[in-house]
Structure 1
Amino acid sequence: MRLQLLHSRVSSATFSRLFSTAKARPKANHRSPPLSTIEPISKPKPKKYKLPPFYDPFGPRPPPSDKVISLADRIASLSPDELRQVGPYLREKLRGPKIQELSSDAMVSSPAASGSAAKVEEKKVEKTAFDVKLEKFDASSKIKVIKEVRAFTNLGLKEAKELVEKAPVLLKQGCTKEEANDIIEKIKAVGGMAVME
């Protein structure tokens, strides 16, 4: 209770002192000028650049001649069918590269066209990688065949034995013609029969 009373006395004393000093202050006769007389802070004006109406990366060009303008007007007045003919004809005239158009008719191939295409593919395709297949071997020369298989496959004894016992089996894939012939000769020499595929 005492604290509350003391607090109220201090508060009221402080308040009355502040309030009385505020009344006692003399008023200044200074009046602020009207807003119309205050000058605004001047900001620098942004620079205005004169830009061209469109951007041309190649720089300014001379205007087209009357002949070019009349030609462009005539091309623009053509019908859609005639417009499709202008490009290829100009390319032919100017000796540009020929571009072949793809159509749905070209996608469907006739039997004669597919037959001729197959012949062309047969001529171009030459086999460069061959596979060597062990067909069979004599039971008496099994050990020799296993040793020979180990020589060119880099397999262990157990793996080579399992591979030979699975005959007919592929021994080596993707070798050249000379290498395949060499392997076949070696297997034939030890009593086995291998073929090239």
Structure 2
Amino acid sequence: MRITTLSRYIRRLPWPEAFVPLQPRAFHADVVTRDSKGKPIKYKIPQSYDPYGPRPPPSDKIVQLAERIAALSEEERGHIMPALSERLKLPKLQPISTEGMDLGSDSGAAGAKVEEKKAEKTAFDIKLEKFDAAAKIKVIKEVRAFTNLGLKEAKDLVEKVPTVLKQGVTKEEANTIIEKIKAAGGVAVME
């Protein structure tokens, strides 16, 4: 009710000739201006967008410096940034921790680092590999005991073999859980 009253009031206001109130799209297919001589405004879209605008050409000194840098060997070019950082007294960059991120392994050195991390691993996942069909109920009971799941959830989890049963447990806890599953008739591994 209030919206319709407000819209009626706005329509009665005297509008400047340059401004045309928005009309529903169903009534107007094209842009209509009140001025009969007015033309719709067409905007030119640039081929490429440069947020900094046009730049002046570099000075001769900069061009000569760029040529000298390009003529340097790859090893010498590697020393430019540290030397500039020291000369300009730029703050030292702090290393960013990539712990917990999967960056992939591009070289053998990265593979060696991954092996070191595995040796230092403190949290483990327990994965149920398989179980005897006759011992299914016992395995479900053991899974319920250490996961605090309901009967249906534990049953669904066991039936999705191979599946991760519990994540982020200590090595001692993982070994006890694996032994309990083994005693119940299942095969579990620590990852």
Question: TM class, shorter-chain normalised?
Answer: 0.3 to 0.5
More helix by share: 1
- Larger Rg belongs to: 1
